[in-house]
Amino acid sequence: MTLALDAHDAHDDAAPTVRLAAEAQPSALIAYQKKPVEFWPTAAVRLAVESGDLEVWQRIVVALRRDPYGRTARQVEEVLEAAAYGIGKALFEVLARARADLEADERADVARQIHALIDRSGLSGREFASRIGTSGDDLAAYLAGDVSPSAAQMVRMRRLSDRFARMKAQRSARPE
């Protein structure tokens, strides 16, 4: 199903309406139909946003969710910045949600890595926090995925975990 803007609505101040387009009409996006949206030039993204084609919009949404800071996201921002489109608010919302979801996933991944570093070190959470120079509350926030530590703290955590893991291995390798 292809949707298109009614021609008379393009000149009105009112929001454009979406209508079913005749299937026989060739789409200006036909050259990009088989390519992933991530490989489209900005002009094609602009045509897609203007097209009113729901299936094309859905492809853009999938690309935005897949890589919310990627090339397509930047192109959509550029296209929507230049002109107001009815779909613009929805695409910005998709982009904001995709970015928020990605950031939550990243914080959860960091939390899993920190858990693994603590386990590997053999230290208690309180001792681990103290040795990396942070409070128990801050470490708890990292482990809950509420916030992420700085890159320097992550390096410090890895080094601490490595050092204590080596010490454990050396102790267990000693003959009794």
Residue in 109, 113, 136 with CA at minimum distance from that of residue 125: 136
Q: What is the pLDDT of residues 2-20, one digit of tens each?
A: 444 444 444 444 444 444 4
Task: Quote the DSSP letter at residue 23.
Answer: T
Task: Say which amino acid occupies 27.
Answer: S
Helices 42-51 & 71-82, crossing angle to 10 degrees? Answer: 60
Domains of the chain by range and CATH? 3-86 (no CATH), 104-173 (1.10.260)
Predicted model pTM? 0.69
Q: What's residue 1's pLDDT?
A: 43
